């Protein structure tokens, strides 16, 4: 087996190539994910929200140096319809996060499938002076536990992230730092080396490319070394359908807005119950409230 790296795969390649790269490295770069025009549309939708943010959050891995636009799939139609709803991202989420289980009622088998949900959507924008984030796993929020493994097995992860940068991201402007292969590590103290950079690769992306990452991969936003400019990245994570969503969907996206979204987005926000019997209102699936 070749050593972990970040593979660059064209959007039109067979799905298996993406699946194999994610299993092996925990991450992959998708070439030709979107166009510069679409990125510009998304930027225009998000910029007013970034501009009005006065307080920089220190929640989770955020270190006070990042402007954010939360509730992103509500605030940006482009992010919602073009990036989040992208068939490749949705297929990869289904591939890695779907859970199918057989239970017994007396001796009758009952097999159910739970489909992934949107856990969080947020734009992160860093500027000169922003410091590097500490290396971390995003599935920390769900208290995920990991047995060390030589090879990937189904349902090892419960999060899959999509990063869509608004510009070319380089080391100089804080490209995300990642450790390919670290998704197979256990939960013991990681060895990042004396300079905290052992195995770290800068996920430098061209505008129009996207980055997919499993929730167990160690990573962190990089330092913004340049004295001018900014680095905007639209970030989405889907979780397996039995988990609590990081961003509370029902408070973040009002029902009047959700009614205007596609069925796919409605379902991913949790407006369809997970089988069996999870996420109902008055014992019926909440999609009944959307008509
Ligand atoms: O900004 C980035 O490149 C990564 C952000 C991140 O990993 C986080 O906030 O959890
Ligand atoms: Fe993170």
Nearest CA to ligand 1 atom 8: 61
For 185, the token pair is 């590590």
Quote the pLDDT of residue 1: 62
Q: How far is the CA of 174 from the centre of ligand 2 (A)?
A: 13
| DSSP β-ladder status, 66-69 and 99-105 | unpaired
Residues 224/173, Cβ–Cβ less than 8 Å: yes
Quote the pLDDT of residue 206: 98
Domains delineated in the chain = 8-253 (2.60.120.620)
Quote the pLDDT of residue 82: 98
- Which atom of ligand 1 approaches the CA of 175 most closely? 3
Q: Is the CB of 172 under 6 A from ligand 1?
A: no
Quote the pLDDT of residue 100: 98
Q: Is the CB of 124 under 6 A from ligand 1?
A: yes
Q: Could you report the average pLDDT of every consecutive run of 10 residues in the chain (291 residues)?
A: 88 98 98 98 97 84 91 98 99 98 98 98 96 97 98 98 98 98 98 97 98 98 97 98 98 98 98 98 97 92
Secondary structure of 64-105 in the HEC alphabet?
CCEEEECCHHHHCHHHHHHHHCCHHHHHHHHHHHCEEEEEEE
- Distance between CA atoms of residues 62 and 59, nearest Å: 5
- Distance between CA atoms of residues 62 and 67, nearest Å: 10
Quote the pLDDT of residue 59: 87
Quote the pLDDT of residue 41: 98
Residues 238/93, Cβ–Cβ less than 8 Å: yes
DSSP secondary structure string, 210-259? EEEEETTS-EEPPPB-SSS--EEEEEEEEE-TTSPPSS-HHHHS-HHHHT
């Amino acid at each position: 087996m070749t050593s972990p790296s970040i593979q660059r795969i064209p959007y039109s390649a067979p799905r298996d190539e993406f699946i194999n790269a994610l299993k092996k490295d925990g991450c992959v770069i998708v070439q030709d994910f979107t166009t510069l025009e679409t990125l510009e549309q998304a930027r225009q939708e998000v910029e007013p929200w970034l501009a009005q943010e006065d307080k920089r959050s220190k929640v989770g891995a955020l270190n006070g140096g990042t402007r954010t636009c939360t509730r992103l799939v509500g605030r940006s139609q482009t992010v919602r319809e073009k990036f989040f709803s992208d068939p490749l991202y949705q297929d990869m989420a289904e591939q890695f996060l779907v859970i199918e289980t057989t239970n017994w009622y007396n001796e009758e088998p009952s097999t159910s499938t739970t489909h992934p949900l949107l856990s969080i959507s947020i734009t992160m924008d860093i500027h000169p002076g922003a410091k590097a984030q500490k290396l971390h796993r995003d599935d920390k929020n769900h208290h995920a536990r990991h047995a060390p493994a030589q090879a990937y097995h189904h349902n090892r992860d419960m999060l899959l992230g999509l990063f869509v940068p608004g510009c070319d991201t380089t080391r100089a402007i804080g490209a995300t730092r990642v450790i390919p292969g670290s998704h197979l590590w256990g939960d013991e103290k990681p060895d990042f080396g004396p300079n905290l950079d052992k195995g770290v690769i800068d996920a430098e992306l061209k505008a129009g490319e996207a980055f997919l990452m499993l929730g167990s991969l160690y990573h962190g936003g990089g330092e913004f070394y340049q004295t001018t400019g900014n680095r905007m990245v639209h970030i989405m994570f889907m979780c397996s359908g039995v988990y609590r969503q990081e961003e509370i969907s029902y408070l973040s996206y009002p029902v009047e807005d959700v009614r205007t979204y596609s069925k796919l987005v409605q379902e991913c926000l949790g407006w369809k119950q997970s089988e069996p019997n999870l996420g109902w209102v008055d014992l019926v699936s909440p999609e009944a409230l959307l008509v």
